[in-house]
Structure 1
Amino acid sequence: MYWGHGAVDTLVGSAFMQMVEHPWGITAFGAASVKAVPDLVRVRFKIIRVEQTPAAAFEAARAAVRAVRGALREHGIADAAVEASRLDLKTAVEYVDGSRKFVGYQCQAAFAVQSGVLDDVEALLIDIVAAGANEIEGVDFDVTGKRELRAEARRQAVAAARAKADLYAEAASVRVGAVLHIEDIDPEQPNATRYRSHAEAAATSAQDLAPGHVVVSAAVVLGYAVARD
């Protein structure tokens, strides 16, 4: 079928007018962060022993495990707050001049310890290393009420998105209508990259830079209808 230039112009103009007269809505992104003083610490560490025989490696690792558990109990950490792996054994080698050289048998146990006594962390680390832990994997501070903090961050993110939608609507001389779409965004996930430029203010807020605090963030995309007068 052949369409003349006049007919095409009419169709294009009609589609454009329909878009203008019946806008589909307003989309706004909102992000927020809340902070709290940590009340929980998690320490992850390993005991690693290398000996010439499997039996000697197991015995050395067991002795270190007993000593470390004793140190933990002295700091008031109950066994229920300690997660420990079973002893693991593997051949230990090192490379010398490009060749593999047998070193012995390596036995290791991994630990994860949780404590609510933050003022004791320094002494705890010193004592578990002295007792036999020879690899500290991480010391992470957290809060027990993270769910409540996340909920508050989400409420603030919704308020931020609504404020942005109101601003755009006012600038465009329209009114914000009913909510049509709510999309939760995890700010830490790679697929949130396209939103980060819109959330730079939230990402660099004083809350995020506050030392000694746990910061919990949330983000949301809201879609609104354009209200009709």
Structure 2
Amino acid sequence: MAEIKEPWGLSVLGAGNVSAEPRIAQVKLAVDLVAPTPKEAFEQAGAAVVRLRAVLREHGIPDSEVSGSRLALESEFAGYGAERTFHGYRCEATYTVQTEALDQLELLIEDAVQAGANRVDEVHFDVLDKPALRDEARRRAVGTARRKAEVYADACGVRLGPVVHIQDVDPESVGRRSHGGRLGGDPESDGVFAPGTVRVEAAVLLGFGLLPG
């Protein structure tokens, strides 16, 4: 049976979201190869990195938009247990490339792979002014929470008083359907996620005082 532990007023959860077309893409690439000796591994990976950097510059991507790691080396084995055998030396360098030229993204990835980035780990799309979109999503979340509170208050024959509590909520926790969680899903937060758009979300928990009707 549900129990009201703190009967001080009305508490409601509101969620909001804003969708926008992506303006930037982040591509996670890696030069990842195995060679018989450490020297060969470093030489081959180093050459691939030089080619990759050249390709990125040809695509007009400045070094400031490329974050990379140093060459890492480790022994590579194949098989398990008694069947485990030495396979060589794995050399790896990872890079995250950011670009606004979305119409050239496919060609960029193709050229990067041909240059030696033989692993594409992720392609992530995002928006440029995410803080402003997040603020708008928060305003919508507050609006959703207030509308819900007004319906509850009207149904109970009371009036909403002032806001006495504001709690920012992780929007990813809204919509989780775990029975043990503190926050349940908010059906009003479910919106159509159109392909080719980026959705920025926010959620808030509002507490209202109550006045006689």
TM-score by length of 2: 0.90
Instruction: Determine if the alignment matches structure 1 residue 201 to structure 2 residue 188.
Output: yes
Alpha-carbon distance change, 96 to 57 in structure 1, aligned in 2, over 3 angstroms: same
Higher helix share: 1
Between the aligned partners of 1:184 and 1:201, the Cα distance in structure 2 is: 17
Aligned pairs for 1:71-220 within 5 A: 71-95=55-79, 98-189=82-173, 193-197=181-185, 199-203=186-190, 205-206=191-192, 209-220=193-204
Structure 1 counterpart of 2:210, one-letter code: V
Given that 1:184 and 1:220 are in contact with CA atoms closer than 8 Å, whether structure 2 keeps it comes out as yes
What does residue 63 of structure 1 align with? 47
1:57, 1:106 within 8 Å by CA — same for their partners in 2? yes
Q: Which runs of 4+ in 1 moved over 6 A?
A: none
Structure 2 gap ranges (5+): none
Q: Which runs of 5+ in 1 are unaligned?
A: 1-18
SS in 2 for 1:69: helix
Shift of 1:180: 0.8
What is the TM-score when the length of structure 1 is the normalising length?
Answer: 0.84
Question: 1: distance between equivalents of 2:110 and 2:80?
Answer: 34
Identity %: 45
- 1:96 is displaced (CA, Å) by 6.5
Q: 1:133 to 1:54 in 2, by over 3 A?
A: same
Q: Indicate conservation of the 8 Å contact 2:27/2:124, yes or no.
A: yes
Q: Which residue of 1 aligns with 2:26?
A: 42
Give the number of equivalent residue pairs: 204
Query: CA contact under 8 A between 1:178 and 1:227: conserved in structure 2?
Result: no
RMSD: 1.9
Cα drift, residue 151 of structure 1: 0.5
- Larger Rg, first or second structure (1 or 2): 1
Query: Quick check: 97-106 or 219-228, which moved more?
Result: 97-106
- Paired residues of 2:174 and 2:203 also in contact (CA < 8 A): no
User: How many Å apart are 1:27 and its aligned residue?
Assistant: 1.0
Give the AA of the match of 1:71: V
For the residue of structure 2 that corresponds to 1:106, the secondary structure is strand
Alignment of 1:3-42 (within 5 A): 24-42=8-26
Deviations 1:170-228 (A, max 9, x none): 1111100011111111121499654343x12322x12xx21100001111111100124
Q: CA deviation at 1:45?
A: 1.1
Are the equivalent residues in 1 in contact too, given 2:33–2:92 (CA < 8 A)?
yes
The amino acid that maps onto 2:183 is: Y
> SS of the counterpart of 2:79?
strand
